[in-house]
Structures are given as structure tokens and as C-alpha cells.
């Protein structure tokens, strides 16, 4: 599907993909490092945005119990995501940018070096999916791949509703309508999208997919045009 070199790819790795309740999924982390190396060797540009996962949820939980505000808990979650990003960056130190950017401006300057840039959270009140969408829209990228712990986008939460149906494709504007009444971002919570991410996708010009990220090879499969996950039809 994406032929030639220099395809700009933003890959959003959900923290729940990298971390289980028992600890880090080392094989999954290593698998993504291998996939990113392959993409770089093929001449593509890659930015990774990494979520906080269960470690962020744990810190936020304890922060709340100790009386921290939602804003303070959000900062804890951001730093956990940044720590995950630093781990991934160091595992690819020969091809990655040496620092984890703390702002969009730092991210864009890092991307200008043509190194693989690994980002965590950027600011309170914004999910790492929103961060990925902002970077994808501003860079700009050719394709955004959101790797999560389910097979795509469903009509309802498939973990809670076994009758939920997976969507092969869906317009971003329809997603915005579907999720608007239930999107509420709080530190340490996990939803696939928030208002910022959906608003950007609704106007974006890049292609976007949601895939099962527990198998890192799915990134390669979706770039080859295989029918997996859910395609988000961006733009109006």
C-alpha cells in the first residue's frame, strides 16, 4: 500500500500493549524494536508515541490516595509514559534520538534529524493518543497506526460487551459523534480516544488505523495493505 521510501509513520504504542498487570512484556517491546529497525532500513521515517500503561495507573492510584489533585496525578502519568519511551529509545540507541522530547516544538526539532523519535506524554489533560494525533497532524505524517490491546474499533467496549461488533472502517466524524457523550479524560484512565484526538482525526489528511498491538508484526501487515484492524477515514 505504502510504496517507495520516506513514508512518514507515527506509531502509537498503548502502554497496555507494553505492560501487563504482571509486568513488562519484554518480547513485545523487543518485537517493536525489530519492526522499527526494519522500517528504518527500508527508508521510512518513524515517530513512536508510548503510553503509560499499568505502571502509570498504579502511580496515579497511589497519588489520588495520598491526596494529589487530578493535575498532579496527570503529571505522574506523563512521567511514567516518558519512562516507557526512554526505555524503548535506549533499546534502539543506534537509530533513535537520544532524548525524549517534552514539547511539540522539541519533537519537531528531533524529527528534523531523521532519527527515530520516541515520545511519551507532553502536557496534562491530554492522552498519549492525542499526542500521537497532534504529532501526526503537525509533522505531518503519511500514516498513523494506533496499536492497542484489542483487534480494532468496536461498537462498544469488547472487554465488557461480548456482542460488540468490530468495524472494518469508520469515519472519524462518526467516531466523534459516537464517543462524544462518553469521552471523559481523567488521569490514569484508559479510553481509546479523547476529544482532542477525535477532533484532529476528523480534519486530518493522513491515513489512520487501529490494530492489535500485541503482535508487533501487525504494523508491517497493515502497511502492506492487509485487511486487519480498523481503518479510520480521516477528514470531512
pTM: 0.92
| Secondary element (H or E) of residue 11 | strand 8-13
Percent of the chain past pLDDT 90, that is, above it, reads 72
**Is residue 63 within 8 Å of 174, Cβ to Cβ?**
no
188: left (phi over 0), alpha (psi -120 to 50) or beta: left
**Domains located in the chain, CATH noted:** 8-233 (3.40.1160.10)
Cβ–Cβ < 8 Å for 165, 87: no
3-state secondary structure 105-121: HHHHHHHCCCCEEEECC
Q: How confident is the model at residue 188 (pLDDT cuts 50, 70, 90)?
A: very low
DSSP H or E run through 167: strand 166-167
What φ, ψ does residue 19 adopt, rounded to 5°? -125, 135
Task: Please provide residue 132's backbone torsions phi and psi, each rounded to the nearest 5 degrees.
Answer: -60, -40
Of 223, 204, 193, the C-alpha closest to 8 is 223
Length of the chain: 236
Identify the pLDDT of residue 2. 61
Whole-number mean pLDDT of the chain? 91
User: What confidence tens digit (pLDDT) does each residue in 119-151 have?
Assistant: 999 998 889 999 999 999 999 999 999 999 989
pLDDT at position 35 is 98
pLDDT digits over 16-59, tens only?
Answer: 999 988 889 999 999 999 999 999 999 999 999 999 988 999 99
- Please answer whether residues 149 and 212 qualify as being in contact, where contact means their C-beta atoms are separated by less than 8 angstroms: yes
Amino acid at each position: 500500500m505504502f510504496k517507495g521510501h520516506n513514508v512518514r509513520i507515527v506509531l502509537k504504542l498503548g502502554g497496555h500493549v507494553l505492560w501487563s498487570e504482571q509486568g513488562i512484556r519484554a518480547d513485545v517491546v523487543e518485537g517493536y524494536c525489530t519492526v522499527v529497525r526494519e522500517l528504518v532500513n527500508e527508508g521510512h521515517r518513524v515517530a513512536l508515541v508510548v503510553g503509560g500503561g499499568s505502571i502509570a495507573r498504579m502511580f496515579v492510584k497511589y497519588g489520588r490516595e495520598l491526596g494529589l489533585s487530578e493535575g498532579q496525578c496527570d503529571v505522574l502519568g506523563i512521567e511514567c509514559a516518558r519512562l516507557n519511551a526512554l526505555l524503548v529509545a535506549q533499546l534502539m540507541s543506534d537509530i533513535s534520538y537520544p532524548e525524549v522530547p517534552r514539547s511539540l516544538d522539541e519533537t519537531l526539532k528531533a524529527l528534523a534529524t531523521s532519527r527515530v523519535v520516541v515520545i511519551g506524554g507532553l502536557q496534562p489533560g491530554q492522552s498519549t493518543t492525542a499526542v500521537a494525533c497532534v504529532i501526526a497532524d503537525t509533522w505531518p505524517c503519511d500514516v498513523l497506526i494506533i496499536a492497542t490491546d484489542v483487534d480494532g474499533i468496536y461498537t462498544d467496549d469488547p472487554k465488557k460487551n461480548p456482542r460488540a461488533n468490530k468495524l472494518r472502517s469508520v469515519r472519524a466524524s462518526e467516531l466523534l459523534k459516537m464517543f462524544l457523550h462518553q469521552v471523559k479524560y481523567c488521569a490514569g484512565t484508559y479510553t481509546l480516544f479523547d476529544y482532542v484526538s477525535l477532533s484532529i482525526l476528523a480534519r486530518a489528511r493522513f491515513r489512520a488505523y487501529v490494530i492489535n498491538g500485541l503482535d508487533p508484526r501487525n504494523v508491517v501487515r497493515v502497511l502492506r495493505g492487509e485487511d486487519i484492524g480498523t481503518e479510520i477515514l480521516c477528514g470531512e
